[in-house]
Amino acid sequence: MYSRRSLTSWAGKVRTKIKICGITTRADVGQAIACGCDAVGFVFYKRSPRYVSPRAAAAIIAAVPAGVERVGVFVNARERTVRQVARRCGLTMVQFHGDESPAFCRRFRGWRIIKALRVRSAGDISQASRYRTSAVLFDTFSADGFGGTGRRFDWNLLRRANVRQTVFLSGGLTPATVAGAVRLVKPAWVDVSSGVERSPGRKDARKIRAFVRAVKRAEKHD
């Protein structure tokens, strides 16, 4: 079982929760949990450099303590595949990061669903109203792929938006930028992958710690 340390000595209780995504190794998930992150994400999209097989993910997830969300990321996967992987890995949340329709997302009543929307304009954010999911994740649009770009969109668009679901903010978040994002958007969650890596799929423990510290400092001075 991975050990989870409390980092309350840095700045008290965290209001904005933190998800570390694109995890591929036991060591990296252990570091994320030790730093007090609230969720760990595993990418089951084979075209991603952060892809992890269901078998490998299940072995890593087996030691994740209760209270840490276990999120599976899927891109335009078949319903049967999603269900099989989610059950095998013991996922608590399922994130759809492709072109999944509102009807498709409604089929998974046994899991809390995050629908990712790739943002270019305010019109992309308004698409959240079509989905009856637990949460919506806003990420940066890229014509080259689905997520993991390391680029940010105009976060000011979210300040003017009326989103009824829980908001996850992603895209261009790093230890240097996340504090500004938290103060500006005030999301329920921040979701980071490439911003705390030394290479795709390999996390950097120092960057994870710096990221968590930055979130806490932003809240302390809010």
| CATH code of the domain containing 52 | 3.20.20.70
Does residue 135 belong to any structural domain of this protein?
yes
Given a contact cutoff of 8 angstroms between Cβ atoms, the answer to whether 16 and 187 are in contact is: yes
Residue 9 is predicted with a pLDDT of 33
pLDDT digits (tens, 9 = 90+) for 158-186: 988 889 999 999 999 999 999 999 999 99
pLDDT at 151: 79
| CB neighbour class for 108 (10 Å; exposed up to 12, middle 13-18, buried from 19) | middle
Among this protein's residues, is 35 annotated catalytic?
Answer: no
Structural domain contains residue 6:
no
Residue 1 resides in a domain: no
Residue 5 lies in a domain: no
Cα-Cα-Cα-Cα dihedral sign, residues 84, 85, 88, 90 = negative
Phi-psi region at 108: left, alpha or beta (left = phi > 0; alpha = psi -120 to 50): beta
Cβ 48 vs Cβ 13: under 8 Å: no
Rg of the Cα atoms in the chain = 16
User: What gap in Å lies between CA 150 and CA 133, rounded to an integer?
Assistant: 25
- In which domain, by residue range, is 164 found? 14-220
- 9 is a domain residue: no
Residue 33 lies in a domain: yes
For the chain, the maximum distance between any two Cα atoms, rounded to a whole number of angstroms, is: 46
CA atoms of 37 and 12, how far apart (whole Å): 14
DSSP reduced 3-state for 132:
coil
Q: Is 21 a catalytic residue?
A: yes
**From 28, 35, 139, 191, the catalytic residue:** 139
**For residues 17-33, average pLDDT:** 96
Number of domains observed in the structure of the chain = 1
pLDDT tier for residue 215 given thresholds of 50, 70 and 90: very high
CA atoms of 64 and 206, how far apart (whole Å)? 21
Q: Choose the catalytic residue: 21, 35, 37, 105.
A: 21
Q: Indicate whether 120 belongs to any domain.
A: yes
Q: What is the pTM of this model?
A: 0.91
**Is residue 2 in some structural domain?**
no
pLDDT in tens, 120-143: 999 999 999 999 999 999 999 775
Rounded to 10 deg, the angle between the 54-61 and 79-89 helix axes is 30
User: How confident is the model over 34-59, as a mean pLDDT?
Assistant: 96
Instruction: Give per-residue burial for 23-46: e unless 16+ CB within 10 Å, then b.
Output: bbeeebbbbbbbbbbbbbbbbbbe
Which residue reads 């999301």 in tokens? 187
pLDDT the model gives residue 139: 94
